[in-house]
Every structure is written in C-alpha cells, then in structure tokens.
Amino acid sequence: MNQEERLEKALQTLHDYVLALGEQAGESKEYSERLWQGIRQSEGILQELAYYHDYEKFLCRYRVAGYTLADVLVWQVDHFKLYMDRPEEMNRYRTPKLLLAAFDTMLQMETDPLPFVKKMEGESGQDAANG
C-alpha cells in the first residue's frame, strides 16, 4: 500500500468514526456528513480528530483565537451543566454529542471566532473579577 492509499484509508477511518459518533449522539447522517466535510477541510481540526481517535484524549495543539478543542469542550460542559443535573436529561449530552459539538464549534470559530470568544468569556463558571 502506497502513501496515498494509506492516507485515503486513514481518512475513511476518521469519516466512519465521525458517522459513528453522530449515530451514538442521535444526530442525523446529514449533520455528521456536513461536520466531516468541514473537519476534512481544516488541517488543524483534522489533526485533532485523528489524535482523539487514536488516543481518546486531546492533542490541544491547534488553537482558534487562543482556544483549544479541550477549552471549547470544558465551556460546553459548564454551559450545559444544568441539563446534566436533571435525571431526565442526563443522556442528552453524552460524550459523543459534546465531542461533536466541540468539533463543530471549532469549525465555526475558524470562520468567526468573536461570538464564541464573547460567550466563553461571559459564560464561564469563573468569577473573572476575583480570579
């Protein structure tokens, strides 16, 4: 197998991974395909996905407006913690759903980071005046 074939095989593995995460999260195949196409077009986010796929942890090398994928995920968990405190909502924001949302947010941040930066700075659970 030559280098190009190995690359295509790796991309197919990541494509299948995104589709599987989407299915686990209850997302439509269209959403998962659209997300995959965005990830594939972003070298930094693609590298983050590949690392997460292989090691189940974040590489955190790629940043948008100073934020890593882990920063986005932490913000999302904090933002949605009210849902997680409710028993009927506990499965609504499972790991696959939060993970996909973090990748989706990073893709959107590549285009227009300011709205997300404002939300993350304004909605963090930290008291910035005393921090």
Q: Using alpha carbons, select from 30, 23, 13, 35 the residue that is nearest to residue 107.
A: 35
- pLDDT of the residue at 116: 93
- Cα 31-47-64 angle, rounded to 5 deg: 80
Q: Using alpha carbons, select from 2, 12, 26, 23 the residue that is nearest to residue 93.
A: 26
Runs of H (alpha helix) within the chain: 3-25, 29-41, 43-55, 69-79, 81-84, 95-111, 114-123
For residue range 62-80, list pLDDT tens digits in order: 999 999 999 999 888 876 6
For residue range 102-131, list pLDDT tens digits in order: 999 999 999 999 999 998 888 654 444 433
